Amino acid sequence: MMVAIGEISLSLALVVSLYATLVSYWGGHTGNSVMVRSGQNSFFAMFILFSIASVVLLRAFLTHDFSLQYVYNYSSRDLPLFYTISAFWAGQKGSLLLWGWMLSLFGSVAIFQNREHNRRLIPYVVAILSATLVLFSVLMVVASPVFAKNAVLPPDGYGLNPMLQNPGMVFHPPTLYIGFVAFIIPYAFAMAALATGQLGDIWIRSTRRWTIFAWFFLGMGNLLGANWAYVELGWGGYWAWDPVENASFMPWLVGTAYLHSVMITEKKDMLKFWGVILVTATFALTIFGTFITRSGLISSVHAFGESTVGYYFLAFLFVILAFSTYMIYTRRELLQSKNQLDSMISRESSFLFNNLILVGAAFAIFWGTLFPMISEAVRGVKITVGPPFYNKVMFPIGLALLVLTGICPLIPWRKASLANLKRNFLMPLMTAVVGGGALLVFGVREPLPWVFFTAAIFVAATIFLEFARGVRARSAGGKENMLKALFNLIWRNKRRYGGYIIHTGMLVMFVGFAGGAYNSQGDFAVKAGGSFEIKDYRLTYIGYTNTNPRPTKEEVVATLLVEKGGKKIGYLQPEKNFYSNQEMSNSEVAIHSTMKEDIYVIFAALNEDEVASFKVHINPLVKWIWLGGWLLGIGTIIAMWPDAREKKRFMARYADA
Amino acid sequence: MKNNQSKFFAGAAVVVVAITYLVYTGIEETSVYYLTVTEAVPMKSSTEDMRIEGLVLAGSIQKDKDSLGASFMLTDDSENIPVTYRGALPDLFDDDIDVVVQGKFDQSSGKFEAHTLLTSCPSKYEATEEEGMKASFIPRPLVE
């Protein structure tokens, strides 16, 4: 009964989404406000329909309704509640439902926010969002029905893949989906602006928060995935340049370029053409990523069920590209910039270089990801590139981006004078010289890491300078103490200083990435009581214990004493777990993490004569990556926080328009 | 004004050329063959690094004494290649599992010496998704 309600909801959603697409478009085209209103309401109705379907599926999981194939495939009776809920998006069908639901939710919120201010844009926005929901509804009703039933009622489910039983894996997919889904909002507004010819900056301002929101979640989704891989997969790293990872990294890079390019558009009425192309590319890349992931076309360590779903996304991708190209081409005259570059040494041009490099980075990754396919098609042999390719290509690109992070915010608009450059960059450059010298003294002598860390010091100094100047200016009159001045500085200029905090987070993450240059590892096999050394650590294997926390799970826990320079640091307890219902084992790594480095121990095996083997990694500076992620989050919240003054300025612009 | 535009385009061209150059040389220097077992057999005399994907032949795994390595046969059902791997074995490494090995053929022994061993997520886990569990469903006993 409940399942039937879910199925009916999805079928209705298909009908309603088709209706909403047509009625909104026609209503916008003819200026018929009744039709426009009807389109909006249909969209809200879709949110309700997707919500009903989601609740039905969630209920099926909670009540262990194994008559549903999907519930059978991804859960079992002894699965803890937390993971029973997360099993909702463990597979493709549930992921599609979650995706569709999020799209209907974000779309409804964006439509509700803009229904009064952007009367002319909104019908087209609704039409584009509804058309996308048509795709999802078709997938869920026809291609990949989430409510498909088993012919026989199984007594218990197949269980959730043990590797997905980790908090990182619970949060990583939805976070990434939020990012993927939310990028459609700026895209839809861009297309609506093209359709109506209202190509001022109103569509950009209206979607600024949505863009940052999407960008943040896409980045965080990647970061949570990296964190999950690090703590759960047990190969000692966090990023493998696998096609699936690349698929979600590319839209983030182009989205970052878009985020920066629209700042120039807002301030200088330039780069409109470029901005529309970037937002289209970002959205197209999210769909392309979904296609790669779901089609099984490119071999990846992330196995998703190979299915026809990918090809629906490929078809959709072509539709988007054709539609967007047509829209941009027919409106090309309106996209002409009113202003031009005044100087090579200016903020505008530094932003443009940042844009070019970000897009270039995405291009390099795109090429590396597709290269096996292209070489097979052209030369008949499959040739692949791995992490060495990306590390080689991304190092100079990353370095250039890092330096621009320091330069862009400080370089003046239009044209920088020599005095100006001296005022802004002398102190950071001197700091970098001193810091670079100090690095040499403290033993950072390999050329590439040295250049990188020195550049990081330069960027840190530029950011510090910006904060210091602002605080000094505010506290000069003596009314505000330093701390209050800092707080007010950030709070009164949320966009700007939120942005700087985001830059700081990126900088801290970059330092963490660069730490990878100093990774070391070793494999060791010992009997109880035996010990081994890696770098300046000494690890002693004390023994193991064996328990059964659940009937289908057996845990073997090894205990190792860790000492550094003769001093006891503590114990590490890597585990090896065996899951009887899936005939699988998996390792739970043990990590001792400090700002300087992580000791990362994997319990590789325990053989018949009680010899335990361990794989140990020493990974410097990894903690900086997660710390940078937190800063990114804080900066994003500040940059997105509602701002009364910004709103007032915005309202004035509506009045003008 | 015009002059600045062209200066910028020159700068942009430098960036584009630099990135193209990086990608091109990166691929030249780091790309490796990605072969199936059948495709790899004729390459036995090659000393190049290559990747081979295949299935671990059931019953062929011989683990090293300390469990930090194994030798096994890689198969695609028509050809087999003997593989040796030294290093901690991935959790999922087992009979009939899809793996990708990267390394070189040892010219004296004819064995493939892998320095990397990757396992895909178990295909048995995902295979059920598309087919569903229809009549082929085999009931398992209740554990509780």
CB contact under 8 A, B143 and A78: yes
Which of A147, A157, A160 minimizes the C-alpha distance to B125?
A160
Pairing of strands A567-572, B98-105: unpaired
> Using CB atoms, which residue from B34, B88, B135 is nearest to A615?
B88
Domain boundary at A105, A139, A161, which?
A161
CB contact under 8 A, B143 and A551: yes
> Distance between CA A419 and CA A279 in Å, rounded?
37
Q: Give residues with Cβ within 8 angstroms of A82, minimum separation 6.
A: A170
B-chain CB neighbours of A92 within 8 Å are: 129
Least confidently predicted of A495-504, A618-627, A647-656, B69-78: A647-656
Longest CA–CA separation in chain B, Å: 80
B-chain CB neighbours of A91 within 8 Å are: 129
- The answer to whether residues A26 and A122 touch, using CB atoms and an 8 Å cutoff, is no
> Distance between CA A299 and CA B52 in Å, rounded?
12
What single letter denotes the amino acid at residue A82?
F
Size of interface A-B (CB pairs under 8 A): 194
Which whole number is the average pLDDT over B120-130?
A: 41
> A269's torsion region: left (phi>0), alpha (psi -120 to 50) or beta?
left
Rounded to the nearest integer, the mean pLDDT of chain A is: 90
Which whole number is the average pLDDT over B100-121?
A: 87
A-chain CB neighbours of B119 within 8 Å are: 301
- What is residue A655's predicted lDDT score, i.e. its pLDDT? 67
Helices (H) and strands (E) in chain A, counts: 21, 11
CB contact under 8 A, B12 and A151: no
Which pair of structure tokens corresponds to residue A172?
A: 């990583």
Burial class (CB in 10 A: 0-12, 13-18, 19+), A32: middle
Which pair of structure tokens corresponds to residue A486?
A: 């800092």
Q: Torsion angle of alpha carbons A518, A519, A524, A528, nearest 10°? A: 90
CB contact under 8 A, B33 and A397: no
B-chain CB neighbours of A232 within 8 Å are: none
Q: Is the pLDDT of residue A588 over 50?
A: yes
Q: Is the pLDDT of residue A621 over 70?
A: yes
CB contact under 8 A, B23 and A303: no
pLDDT digits (tens, 9 = 90+) for A261-314: 999 888 888 888 999 999 999 999 999 988 887 766 666 555 555 567 888 999
> Distance between CA A150 and CA A72 in Å, rounded?
8
pLDDT bin (cut points 50, 70, 90) of residue B131 is very low
DSSP A580: G
Hey, of B1, B3, B4, B123, which one would you mutate to test binding to chain A, going by the most A CBs within 10 A of its CB? B4
Which of A510, A636, A619 minimizes the C-alpha distance to A175?
A636
Domains contained in chain A, number: 2
Evaluate the CA torsion angle A461, A463, A469, A475 in order and state its sign.
negative
Helical H segments across A331-417, by residue range: 347-379, 387-407
Which of A610, A578, A550 minimizes the C-alpha distance to A156?
A550
CB contact under 8 A, B121 and A234: no
Q: Is the pLDDT of residue A372 over 70?
A: yes
CB contact under 8 A, B66 and A607: yes
Q: Is A588 helix (H, G, I), strand (E, B) or coil?
A: strand
- Would A632 be classed as within a structural domain? no
Q: Is A63 helix (H, G, I), strand (E, B) or coil?
A: coil
> Distance between CA A624 and CA A596 in Å, rounded?
9
- The answer to whether residues A380 and B26 touch, using CB atoms and an 8 Å cutoff, is no
- Neighbour count for residue A651 (Cβ, 10 Å): 10
B-chain CB neighbours of A521 within 8 Å are: none
pLDDT bin (cut points 50, 70, 90) of residue A657 is low
pLDDT bin (cut points 50, 70, 90) of residue A600 is very high
3-state per-residue secondary structure call for B94-116: CCCCEEEEEEEECCCCCCEEEEE
Which whole number is the average pLDDT over A457-464?
A: 96
> Using CB atoms, which residue from B4, B65, B91 is nearest to A586?
B91
Q: Is the pLDDT of residue B133 over 50?
A: no
- Would A315 be classed as within a structural domain? no
Helical H segments across chain B, by residue range: 2-30, 37-40, 123-131
- What is residue B125's predicted lDDT score, i.e. its pLDDT? 38
pLDDT bin (cut points 50, 70, 90) of residue A396 is very high
> Using CB atoms, which residue from A151, A367, A551 is nearest to B144?
A551
Pairing of strands A537-550, A553-564: antiparallel
Which pair of structure tokens corresponds to residue A180?
A: 């993927």
Distance from CA of B107 to the nearest CA of A (A): 22
- What is residue A300's predicted lDDT score, i.e. its pLDDT? 59
- What is residue A302's predicted lDDT score, i.e. its pLDDT? 57
Q: Give residues with Cβ within 8 angstroms of A129, minimum separation 6.
A: A43, A103, A107, A110, A111, A184, A188
Q: Is the pLDDT of residue B135 over 90?
A: no
B-chain CB neighbours of A87 within 8 Å are: none
Q: Is the pLDDT of residue B91 over 80?
A: no
- What is residue B143's predicted lDDT score, i.e. its pLDDT? 27
B-chain CB neighbours of A357 within 8 Å are: 15, 19
pLDDT bin (cut points 50, 70, 90) of residue A586 is confident
pLDDT bin (cut points 50, 70, 90) of residue A144 is confident
Instruction: Give one DSSP letter per residue of A237-251, joined into a string.
Output: -S----HHHHHHHHH
Length of chain B as a residue count: 144
- What is residue A421's predicted lDDT score, i.e. its pLDDT? 85
- What is residue A270's predicted lDDT score, i.e. its pLDDT? 81
ipTM over 0.85: no
Instruction: Give one DSSP letter per residue of A93-158, joined into a string.
Output: HHHHHHHHHHHHHHHHHHHHHHTTTTTTTHHHHHHHHHHHHHHHHHIIIIIS-TT-B-SS--SS--
Least confidently predicted of A98-107, A509-518, A580-589, B130-139: B130-139
- What is residue A56's predicted lDDT score, i.e. its pLDDT? 97
Measured in degrees and rounded to the nearest 5, phi and psi for residue A493 equal -135, 60
pLDDT digits (tens, 9 = 90+) for B56-82: 999 999 988 777 889 999 999 899 999
CB contact under 8 A, A305 and B127: yes
Domain boundary at A119, A135, A161, which?
A161
CB contact under 8 A, A77 and B144: yes
CB contact under 8 A, A393 and B35: no
- The answer to whether residues A176 and A290 touch, using CB atoms and an 8 Å cutoff, is no
Q: Is the pLDDT of residue A407 over 60?
A: yes
Distance from CA of A125 to the nearest CA of B (A): 34
pLDDT digits (tens, 9 = 90+) for A317-371: 999 999 999 999 999 888 887 777 777 778 888 898 999 999 999 999 999 998 8
B-chain CB neighbours of A343 within 8 Å are: 4
CB contact under 8 A, B18 and A396: yes
Least confidently predicted of A158-162, A170-174, B99-103: A158-162
- Would A65 be classed as within a structural domain? yes
Q: Least CA distance to B123: which residue of chain A?
A: A303
What single letter denotes the amino acid at residue A411?
I
For B33-122, the fitting CATH number among 3.30.360.10, 3.30.1020.10, 3.40.47.10, 2.40.50.140 is 2.40.50.140
> Using CB atoms, which residue from A69, A581, A582 is nearest to B132?
A69
A-chain CB neighbours of B5 within 8 Å are: 340-341
Distance from CA of B109 to the nearest CA of A (A): 25
Which whole number is the average pLDDT over A619-630?
A: 96
- Would A305 be classed as within a structural domain? no
User: What range does the domain containing A618 cover?
Assistant: 518-623
Q: Give residues with Cβ within 8 angstroms of A628, minimum separation 6.
A: A505, A506, A507, A508, A509, A510, A511, A512
Which one is predicted more confidently, A125 or A647? A125
DSSP B60: -
Which whole number is the average pLDDT over A215-224?
A: 94
- What is residue A299's predicted lDDT score, i.e. its pLDDT? 60
Q: Is the pLDDT of residue A499 over 70?
A: yes
Q: At what angle do helices A309-330 and A184-196 cross, to 10 degrees?
A: 30
Distance from CA of B45 to the nearest CA of A (A): 17
pLDDT bin (cut points 50, 70, 90) of residue B141 is very low
Q: Least CA distance to B143: which residue of chain A?
A: A551
- The answer to whether residues A459 and A403 touch, using CB atoms and an 8 Å cutoff, is yes
